[in-house]
Each structure stands twice: as C-alpha cells, then as structure tokens.
Structure 1
Amino acid sequence: MTPRLETVGMDSFIVRLFDTIDEDHMPWLTAADAALREAFGEALVDLVPSYTTLLIHYDVMRLTHTEAWDLARQALHGLQPTQEAQGERHVIPVWYDESVGPELPRIAQRLGIDTQALIARHCGRDYCVFALGFAPGYGFMGLVEEELATPRLKTPRQKVAAGSVGIADRQTAIYPMRSPGGWNILGRTPVALFDRGREGYSLFRPGDRVRFEAISRETFIEQGGDPTPLEERG
C-alpha cells in the first residue's frame, strides 16, 4: 500500500490509499485518519475519510503546500492498522414492516423468498461504515450481499422518514432525519443517529461496524420510534 497525494485546491489535497472499495481497507483508512490528525495538529482545518481516500484541508497561514505534503508523507510512513483503528460496533434495532418499509415485499418477491427470510439476511452480517455524507450522521455502509443489491428508485421520494433503513445497490444506510431519498426502504429504527448533545454529533464514524437487529412494533414504539406509515410519494 503506497499512499498517493493529489492536489484539489490551494489549501487541500487528497491522500489516496486504495483504488477499490473493500471492507478490509477501513482499518488502514482509520489508522491514517488518526496519524494525520496528530501530525497536523492545530494546522488541520478538516479531515474527511471516505471509501478509499482522505481529504485534508489545512491552514495556509500555518503551512505551505510543500510543508503539508511533507507532514502527510511522514505521518503515513510505516503506517499499520491497530486494534484502536477497528472502530466501534453498534447493534441497531429495526422494525421491518411494509408500512414503514415499502420495498420489503418487492425485494423479497424478486429473490423468491418471504419477507422474514429477507429480514434475516439483512440482519445476518456486520456492515462497515465507509463514509459519512448526504445528511448529518448519514453513514454509507456495506457491503450488502450481492443477491440483495437493489438499484435506487427511479423516482426518489420527496420525504423519507427519519430512521428509515434502506438499500441502494450493495450499500445500506439509515436516514438520520426526514429528507428526500431514493433508497429502497425496508424498515425503521428508533435510534437517533445525529445529536448535537453527543460528542462528535454523529453516532457513527468511518470504520465502525453495524449489525441490524429485528424488533417488534411494540418494542419499536417503546424505544421511542414513530410508527407513522411511510408515504409512497410526496
């Protein structure tokens, strides 16, 4: 693994660690995130890890372009993932039901299985949080097994309820707040993903792992979930 540095602006550049998306790459990206944050210190404006890269935004009043590149190279020299770079594991309760997950029966029918089998398969593995984006606290997770992969909706919904759990291609995610969206919705969680009172605001960080756990409607409501059916459109 040889990091490559790519300029994207007068005060920012990308560190590219890999060219393909793979769950096994995330410990390296998480370790690189920690090493770069320590190296840049107060000169760091922002650092955004993603699937295969990290975007570094630095203070040009503290570092020249050459100094920033040298800092990055030194920080990444001899990089090795550590146990701390494995991320946190979260178990997220989900109420899987057609009223809040309209695509649940359609995907099950396409696979020739019942909805309970689809739910078991979606809950049957840990998913890696590759990146945060789209909305505060929105974690892009994967990889969903190939048979479950489903293209985005041709016509996105104008309103997707907060907590909605969906699939798009080989990724899965949870909508942290009500917003437009074109993912295939399977269910809903009562867990808040974004909270201004939480350190770092977001429940997830890149490198974390997520396991979904099916719960009943009663448990969902007891945990603070809103059972209002998801509108098909509008």
Structure 2
Amino acid sequence: MTVLPDEQQDGPPLSLSERAYQAIQDKLIMLEIPPMAPIDEVALVESLGVGRTPVREALKRLEVDRLVVSYARRGTFATAVDITDLAYISDIRVHLEPLAARRAAEGAGPAVREDLVELADATESLDVPRLSREELMRWDMRVHRAIYHAAGNPHLEDTLVRYDNLATRIFCLFLDRMTDFVSHVEEHAGLLRTIADGEADAAARRARQHVQGFEKAIRAVI
C-alpha cells in the first residue's frame, strides 16, 4: 500500500483530501502515472487507503493544476507532455523565477538565509553521478521550493510550485537522454548562496539563466 504523505509538522493535520492530493500529485510528477495514462480511481483508493471522495476531490484540484484532464464518458487521464508545453511553461518561469529569487534576496530573514546556505552546502556535497532519477528530481524540487518559500509571497509561491511541477514532469520524461547534471546542480548551489548573500540583481540573473538553460538542455535531446 502506498503511504500517504506525512502529516505536516506545523499547523493543523492534513485532511484526507489534501493528503490524497499530494500523493497522487507525486505519482503524476514523477511519472509513476505516465502522461496520457488513464487514472484508475479504484486502484488509487486501494493503494492510498482512503475513500473515493478524497480521491475525487484530489483529482478535481489536479485538473486545475493541469496534471490531469477529464472527458465526459471517457474518464480522467494524466495530461500529455509535448514541446509546446515546454515553451509555455518556460515563458512563465523565466519571468517569475527571477522575481522569486530577487524577493528572497531582498527580504529573507537571518534564519531563512542560514537555511539556504545549509541547503547550498548540502547541494555541493552531493555525489551527483550516483543519484537516481528520483533522487535528482526530488532534490531539484527541494531547492526550487526553498527559494519560492524564501520569497515570502504565498501567491507567487503557489504559482511557481504549480509550474515547477509541470517542468519536473518534462525533466523526468527526458532525463534518460541527458548527461550533464553536475552543472545543473552547481547552478542550484550558486543561486542559493547568491540569495543568502542578499545579491538581488545577481540572484535574479542566475535564476533566469537557470530556467533558460533548462529549456535549452531539454530541446537539445528532443
């Protein structure tokens, strides 16, 4: 049985619907449910150990996130991934990722900056060639989410998480064709340190280059 996400440490416990949402979202992002695959509600109910109502509520939210799509009398499917998606997603991220990096560099408090430095240290200590695809993807998401949160704007954070989820699906889809992950990880560490140092202009520039480099790397292997 798939284990639902752990309860969050702060705030009220997650509802079954929220926990189902996070679990199904993870399956979609990491391509455990491949693009265009039908969504088996019964299998999800059984694997997650919840009722049909939380699963259906989760799928409605995931449709808003563009991770699933529903058709009358046909059912619900994981959304497709194609080159057009990459262009659209990058067009948004190339503007919002630098904004988040700039806001984090300008406004993050001492504790947050310390956390970013620690994450940069941990990133630099990674043995990248030994990482599995899933480990690499999850670390990538961890870094990006730390920056979004450090920006201090929950609406910007929510928007960026949504588009980073879509970008990560594309990353997962073409990851086996890509070779240079070391520089990708090094970019993360440099960006984190620049934000922690309060260098707003440099942080925005690094974030923009990171998004542009991601799109270029994907296009090179398509």
TM-score range, shorter chain: under 0.3
Select the structure of larger CA radius of gyration.
Answer: 1
Query: Which structure: greater strand fraction?
Result: 1
Give the alignment's TM-score, normalised by structure 1. 0.27
With a CA cutoff of 8 Å and minimum separation of 6, indicate the structure with the bigger relative contact order: 2
Higher helix proportion: 2
TM-score (structure 2 length as normaliser): 0.28
